[in-house]
A = this chain, B = another copy of it.
């Protein structure tokens, strides 16, 4: 199985499959056909079969998918079968919210430290996670094994900080700053942008479209 051949669109859908299979599993469902799964997820059954065939299938004719097994396989494909150490840059509301979100997948992502520039937070702990000063970041990264950094700071500081992260071995950046990092981050560092204000603008556009149709 080569990861390189999987299209971005499939990768976008995998976490959604993972979420639905989790809900089915919680509800005690042991197996499901692609038809049933498709009705719940509002995608076509053939789309589901095609997507999962990218990874070798997992389904059996006339039996459907084993929910627990399929979920575990998708977890493995997504790299959720091991723990990723993570730091969060910015201990404001968004940083705190992300620390909670990461807990969703408790065994896959472990927030080991928050960093902030506000001296009032120095030495504090939030929900059991220590907050350190941003100046300590390079040393912390060199001394600890950290793969992922979430960036929840204003755009003025984001690019400088991204450079420091990359120079000190961070391999993945979860970027919430209102800017793109493509100019400063090399190709061998994964970047996932979450531009919340762009999402709000799309909502505004769709709202306008719906109103125009009335």
- Determine whether the beta carbon of A98 is less than 8 Å from that of B204: no
Tell me the count of chain A residues lying within 8 A, CB to CB, of chain B: 64
Q: How many copies does the complex hold?
A: 2
Scan residues 138-171 of chain A and give those whose CB is less than 8 A from a CB of chain B: 147-148, 171
**A29 lies within 8 A of chain B by Cβ:** no
Q: A93-B100, A200-B102 are in contact. Are A78 and B172 (CB under 8 A)?
A: no
Binds B, one of A10-18, A63-71, A113-121: A10-18
12 further contact pairs, Cβ within 8 A, besides A94-B97, A104-B178, A109-B200: A11-B202, A11-B206, A14-B205, A15-B199, A19-B198, A84-B204, A93-B93, A94-B94, A105-B197, A148-B204, A192-B199, A194-B194
Residues of A within 8 A of B (CB): 3-4, 11-12, 14-16, 18-19, 23, 42, 77-80, 84, 92-94, 96-98, 100-102, 104-105, 108-109, 147-148, 171-172, 174, 178-180, 182, 188-192, 194-214
